Amino acid sequence: MVMRVTQQSLYGSVIKQNNASLAKLMETNNQASTQKRINAPSDDPNGAVQVLNTRIDLSQLTQYSRNIDAAQGWLTQADSTLSSASTLVTTIKSYAEQAATGTVTEENRGEIASAVRQYYEQLVSMANTTYGEQSLFAGQKTDTEAYTMGLGLTSNDTAFDAALKDQTAPGYTIAGDTDSTVLVQFTDTASPDQPAFRYTTDGGSTWQTGSYASPSPSTDTETLEMGGVSMTLSHAALNSVTVSTDTDDADGTWLWIRPAAYYQGNTNDDVAVTYTGTSGATASAAGTFTGNVQVKLTDDTGGVYTYSYSTDGGGTWVDGNTSGTDADGHPTLSVPGGIMTIDETAGSPVTGDQFFIQPSTADISIAISPTDSVVVNGVGKDIFGGMYETTASNASTKYYTAATFDGSDSGNLLETVGKLVGYLETNNQSGIQECLDDLTTSQNQVLVAAASVGAKENRVDSTETMVTTLSENATTTLSNVEDADLTELITKLSEQELAYQAVLKSSSMVMNLSLVSYI
């Protein structure tokens, strides 16, 4: 059987062959232009998937590299600051050692006091160090200075100090400003809640009689007026003072109003409790919470609360729990991590009401690898100490108190140096000796923080090496899968170019053949 080949089918076949040869040439030319073997998923579906996954890995590793750079910046700045602070404390200790000796005159102590007061302000400035306009030691409140300068209170009377913690009106507040320590001496307790006192601002050379603000700020407190400085104390504290009539500050109750630093950042100790009911009740929580806790009252009869709690946002509940009471008769609810206390002063919650316990966090954690992250900031009150805001045990009052370390304020650097300034400016040798001992403890607290930062720096440096290696390996893998072999590509391009030229030449010859040419 003879197959008839028409001129039309001949032309169609020629064009099809030309296009096929040209398509191969253009595909190879595109690979030569991009130097990539895979330019579209259809070039190699399996390879294209591997390329996409590898690019995702590279993108993540690039972000980790940027995170590592940021972490190194934060930690390097913190390391430098803490090292400088420790060096400054060493200088302050040398001055304190001089002032603690009995051979130093009152005038000499005054000169030392001027230097130490300046060093104190420098310490506060170091505690307010920023990195890229973000506070290093204010917890997550990076847009806030870690500390503000103010005035603090030191007493020589343990009974007075204990009375300051009375929960009706705990702590103290001091307003105004002074360039020198204000020394207060109580001289008479005949008037209830308002013991007579006098004060000096020049180390005891001259004395002035103090007065009380009228009217009183509240039924529980009084405000002492001392020229440009006013101090509010509770009746419990004022009624605990002991009088003296001589100038020996070892007798009676004496108060030193001297420089202090107040922490403004947040901490890992704070726990907020939100009440969703309408009774007016309030609540507080104490303990070590690792996450949010939701509490729901299921029964409020008989003066005892039955409640359920959830640690997964209400997904699952632990039922059948019963409340207890604290020493003041407030209901206490045990939950994972601690105790929630309900204050029923303004009203009692009812069945169905809920409480949300939310622990705060001050840490800024940066991911530096797929499996590791590092905290790059610090909580100033846990390093430098100072005064910080806390909630009274009655859950109704917030006040400032000195930060403690292992139950003692001897490691509180800013309070120790503030006390030292007060004792230097009032020529109190025994007080200076006490501060000298505390300076060593305070410096150790700073050195511990510096060591922690140094360990984090080493971790970040090691992780940087690992991330760099992973990135190089991923880049090599991507190149092996995606990149074209240039030698092979050039050879292939030359072959396809010759093939296309041959097709064009043979096609032109075939296209020119026609029966008409022989008529």
Cα distance between residue 366 and residue 377, in whole Å: 10
Does pTM top 0.85 for this prediction? no
Residue 22 near residue 507 (C-beta atoms within 8 A): no
Q: Residue 428: name the closest of 115, 204, 150, 116 by CA.
A: 204
**Tokens describing residue 136:** 């290093």
Tens of pLDDT, residues 54-84: 778 788 889 999 999 999 999 999 999 999 9
| Predicted local confidence at residue 477, as pLDDT | 75
b/e map 225-254, b = 16+ CB within 10 Å? ebeebbbbbbbbbbebbebbeeeebeebbb
Positive or negative: CA dihedral 466, 467, 471, 474: positive
What DSSP character marks residue 428?
-
What DSSP character marks residue 10?
H
**Tokens describing residue 460:** 């970040």
Tens of pLDDT, residues 358-369: 988 899 999 999
Residue ranges of the chain whose pLDDT lies below 70: 1-45, 47-49, 51, 393-396, 478-519
**Tokens describing residue 5:** 């080949």
Q: Residue 85: name the closest of 516, 489, 453 by CA.
A: 453
Q: Residue 438: name the closest of 459, 420, 464, 451 by CA.
A: 420
List the chain domain ranges.
Answer: 102-267+380-460, 271-359
Give 234-284 as a DSSP string.
EHHHHTT-----SS-TTSS-EEEEEEEEEE-S--SS-EEEEE-SSS--EEE
